[in-house]
Structure 1
Amino acid sequence: MANYGVAEAKNKFTHLLERVEDGERIVITRHGKPIVEIVKAAAAAPSKPVSAEAIAAALERLRILRESLPPADMPAADMIREMRDEGV
């Protein structure tokens, strides 16, 4: 497992990705402390087709959930702006 500082990892990103593709684990550090570990992604299993009935059932559950929620006091854009300004 190799360790790289943020700046060095940024400059060598393509090279690091090639090493990860070859199975190596890479740790990115900031001020000497590990921040993130990059590992090769596992191959995803092929997904099964979803039936129209399953999709309809999921949409019905979402409709019921949406109807059970109280109405919003303000438009979504205003709510997001307020959350951003409050640092939430």
Structure 2
Amino acid sequence: MITVGTLEAKNRLSELLDRVEKGERVQITRHGKVVATLVGDEQAKQERASRAMEDIRAIREKIRADISKRGDPPITTDEILDWIREGRR
């Protein structure tokens, strides 16, 4: 990853975009503080998908813990499919 100031980023934008296309990250700073990070579109999509999957796993674990606390038996796939079918009627 490289870090450049805003003026340098403006002057070298084409070069920086070429580097981003090759998979590199570019941080842009203003007065020494990072204000933006350039990341390739595919990489950004993959990172969003990974975060979404992590969130889903965390929610699933919380639901499992809540069900376990109440002493309810685990929900089966067949039950979920039955609920979906009932909702379609």
TM-score by length of 2: 0.47
Name the structure with the higher helix share: 2
- Give the alignment's TM-score, normalised by structure 1: 0.48
